[in-house]
Structure 1
Amino acid sequence: MAISSPGLGSGLDVNSIISSLMAIEERPLTLLNQKEAEVQANISAMGSLKSALSSLQSSLTALGEEDTFRATSTQSSDSAVFTATSSSTATSANYAVTVNRLAQAHKVGSTAFADTATFGGAAGDEMILTVDSKTFTLDLSTAQTLSQIQSTINAELNTTGVTAGLITGDSGQQTLTLTASDTGYDNRVQLSYGGAINASTFNFSMLNRDSDDVLLATEAELDASVTIDGVPVTRSSNSITDAVAGLTLNLKTEGSASVTINADSSSATGAMNTFVASLNDVLNQVKSISSSGTGNSSVMRSIEFQLSSIMNAGQTGLGSYSYLSQLGVTTKEGGGMTFDSSKLSTAMTDDIEGVISFFSDTSKGFDVRMDGMLDSFLQSGGVIDSIVNGAKSEVTTITRNRSLMEQRLISTEARLRSQFESLDTLMSSMQTTSSYLTSQLESIANLTLNKS
């Protein structure tokens, strides 16, 4: 007789008993899950540490570049006249600058013609546009109106950069204009002709005017003209980059102003702040991993030891500075590093070459030594990768074992339920027999009483 409800035949709380028994059986699975959580935490921690070490390594790039320490800043006394920027090759100085004339893009215009007027029409008729070394030939063997000429010049085949415009005046007549794409005399529009077409056909003349609205006297005046500390400078562009080494002047309007170039330690300070912040991040990560017990303690100790060794090691033969502490980086109370930017600024003023050598010397500079140490941990297949790969292999093993264990638990629960079902059936049968026997004994007892 099958029992459909566990415990019905025996009167036992079978589901509760089986749950308790299975809880005992599942303890190894619980331990396995806990182990996986620990391994996954280790993988995550090592991933974060690797990212922090990579950021620290990246922060070394700026410290190893001379431009970081040779950076300069500029200031124009009147940005309406010109603005200025400077590079690391500039020298601290002050210059008086007078902008006499701005560079202009060359523009010419033709005589006014009726919109029906045509030009050319014979074999060999042509107009040639030349800008610097680029040319474009306008074929006029078939007669064209000014409107058609404009469209042809503005076509993609024209690589000179010259654009054509068409102006219709009050009289209804049209003027063809040609404008160069770049400023200056060297980028002026030069015209030549062929066939029956010649200079008098269109009678082009310069349209450029100065700040007083007076036509320029010559094409040479298309160039910008400035005076720097009394020295005349003429350039084709309003951005003058080669008059003073490392200084760029962006001309805005005619007038006078001064430009001041100063050494700028902000780039170096910013680079050092980034380095110290990245270093502290690594140290915090190592401390966290060590205290949580999720990582390889010997590797954490190795990272701390090697960082400390490089940070505190002295180096000779590179100038005035042997220790990072001389440049403002010291250990702070409670752990980690701190940076005093004033020490770095002073060091750069006293011996900038020594500061640069301290970081960037290719054989024993700070950057080289720190980068090499970090690379041993970060390189593909290195220490951290080995730890992570080992942990991932452990997760794979745990996953496989858990699957086997879960299958075994399913079988165990099924076996227990089958056993309790058999017990239920047996006890139900026994209870039936007991009831029958009790009934029979009562009947016998009643017969005995009746005979008495």
Structure 2
Amino acid sequence: MASISSLGIGSGLDLNSLLDQLEASERQQLTPITLKQQSYQAKISAYGKLESALTSFQDAVAKLADGKQFEAVKKEVSGDALSATLGDDALTGNYDLDVSQRARGYSIATQGIAAANEALGAGTLNITLANGDTLDLEIGEKQSTLEGIRDAINDAGGGIQASLMNDGGDTPYRLVLSSTATGTEAAIDSVTFGGGLGPSLALDPDSEVPALNARLTINGIAVTSQSNQVEDAIQGVTLNLKETGTATLDVTRDGAGIKKAVKSFADAYNTLQETLDNLTRFNQDTGESGALLGDATLRGIESRLRSVVSGGGTGGAFNTLADIGITLKVDGTLEVDEEAVDDAVDNQLGALADFFTGRADKDGLAVRLDDALADMVDDGGTLDDATEGLETSIETLQTQYLRTEDRINSTLARYRTQFQKLDSMIAEMNSTSSYLTQQFDALNAQLGQ
């Protein structure tokens, strides 16, 4: 049988087109698998959007679940003598402050010499601080200039820094030694130049600037500090002294921050509800639907959230969100009565804190919501499990796709082989027919003669 290298050449039939049609028909088996994979992937993407909205809501909930939110304070400072920074444990209070002295660091200079780069001779330098710390340096011949000694001190650290001064005189260059910290404890107590440095360098007592501690009174109580940053004189407050003078500090409850946290809670819930609506929407006119329409996982999440949000409180003055001015509307969103919330913060802050954080052995609304949200978005939670299930299904479908594709390729290979045989057979039959026709024509010609 003759070998046919291209389908249809031997038979004259359009076998390539027929094979393409058969391939297209066979590959339709892959379409349902691909569509199902795409639908699962769309669900995974939708779960991601849902998780993002849930996490944002969780952030707002967590602020109200933390009792510190309701203890938050703010400050107001009058006067230029100082500024203040509040820590987490700051308490409310009013303070009159009088700064009589700011802290200052110690410094002293040497007598002058003619040149900053003049070698003074190898020797030793020993510096002792008031707190007992010492700096002991060996100064080599090449390093024994004022510049070299300065660099050696600065490289060593130890609470002392050195600089050079030019006083413009006949021997203008001086080595200035300064404590890096303020206060008497960081002051330089003694400086000794030994060896070759001794004859050349000596301290100038007239250049001494003594160290000072900060001194102030807080509500009439005298306070001393080594630094101008006064910590712990007032619990949870750091005072930054700027100049001498008086100032007042008022630390009050941050009602505005608490109101903002409550409003943010409602806003985040409404944003979450909008996300839920988008993921489950259905347009009757176009037939378009959200990726999670009818999804059991989403329905379970929505049901649990509504149950917690509409549930009772801890049995205190406030028992529901409506009691503090937040109502659950028919469309699932929260509506805030700002006047009612302001009144709760200004006049019943303790009861409001109990409602969100809990009292006795009963968790508050925010704590229960935080626990519910953690079950949904944490690793191993509801959305994690649902996503992993879909990813497993996609992998299974991919395996099915590859098996189906292999089967289709095998079928197409069989069709091609069969077509090749058909092509060869028809080509051979055509050849035989042509031969017989020629023979009959020749015979007829002979008979006709």
Q: Same fold (TM over 0.5)?
A: yes
- Secondary structure at the counterpart of residue 402 of structure 1: helix
Task: Report matched runs for 1:338-377 at 5 Å.
Answer: 338-339=335-336, 342-361=339-358, 363-377=362-376
Letter in 2 for 1:300: L
Q: Distance in 2 between matches of 1:55 and 1:154?
A: 50
State which of 162, 165, 171 in structure 2 corresponds to 1:164.
162
Paired residues for 1:149-188 under 5 Å? 150=150, 153-156=153-156, 159=158, 161-169=159-167, 170-172=169-171, 174-188=173-187
The answer as to whether partners of 2:321 and 2:327 remain within 8 angstroms in 1 is yes
Please name the residue that 2:286 is paired with: none
**Equivalent residue runs for 1:102-117 within 5 Å:** 102-110=102-110
Q: Secondary structure at the match of 1:132?
A: coil
Q: Shift in Å at residue 440 of structure 1?
A: 6.1
Superposed CA offset, 1:3-42 (max 9, x none): 4442344443222222222222112111111111122222
Give the secondary-structure state (helix, strand or coil) at the position aligned to 1:314.
Answer: coil
- Is 1:400 matched up with 2:376? no
CA shift, 1:303, in A, is 0.8
Distance 1:344 1:204, change over 3 A: farther
Q: CA deviation at 1:277?
A: 4.8
Q: Which residue of 2 aligns with 1:248?
A: 238
Query: How many matched pairs?
Result: 430
- Residue 264 of structure 1 aligns with which residue? 254
- 1:162-195 deviation line (CA, Å, top 9, x unaligned): 2234434313055443322222233333238799
Cα deviation, residue 63, structure 1: 2.0
Q: Distance in 2 between matches of 1:316 and 1:342?
A: 23
Q: In 2 relative to 1, CA 112–417 (structure 1 residues): closer, same or farther, beyond 3 Å?
A: closer
Q: 2:304 aligns with which of 303, 306, 318?
A: 306
Structure 1 runs not aligned, ≥5 long: 209-217
Aligned partners of 2:151 and 2:12: how far apart in 1?
103
Give percent identity, aligned residues only: 30
CA distance in 1, matches of 2:9, 2:270: 67
The Cα of 1:310 is off from its aligned counterpart by 0.8
| Residue 323 (1) aligns with residue 324 (2) | no
For 1:31 and 1:409, locate their aligned partners in 2 and report how far apart those are by CA, in whole Å.
15
Number of the residue aligned with 2:133: 134
Query: 1:446 Cα shift?
Result: 7.2
- TM-score norm. by structure 1 comes to 0.77
* Unpaired runs of at least 5, structure 2: 282-289
Structure 1 residues 39 and 146: alpha-carbon distance in aligned structure 2, compared to 1, 3 A threshold = closer
Deviation at 1:306, TM superposition (A): 0.8
CA distance in 1, matches of 2:57, 2:299: 18
Deviation (angstroms), 1:266: 4.2
Alpha-carbon displacement from aligned partner over 1:119-158 (angstroms, at most 9, x marks no partner): 998xxx9855124353345689x9x8877765554452x5
Aligned to 1:336: 333
Partner SS state of residue 243, structure 2: coil
More moved, 280-289 vs 307-316: 280-289
Task: Please give the TM-score of this superposition, normalised by the length of structure 2.
Answer: 0.78
> In 1, are the aligned partners of 2:62 and 2:367 still within 8 Å (CA)?
no
CA distance in 2, matches of 1:355, 1:381: 33
Match of 2:226 in 1: 236
Correspondence for 2:284: none
Correspondence for 1:29: 30
**Judging changes above 3 Å, is the alpha-carbon distance between structure 1 residues 19 and 269 closer, same or farther for their aligned structure 2 residues?**
farther
- Could you tell me whether the CA contact under 8 Å between 1:120 and 1:126 is conserved in 2? no
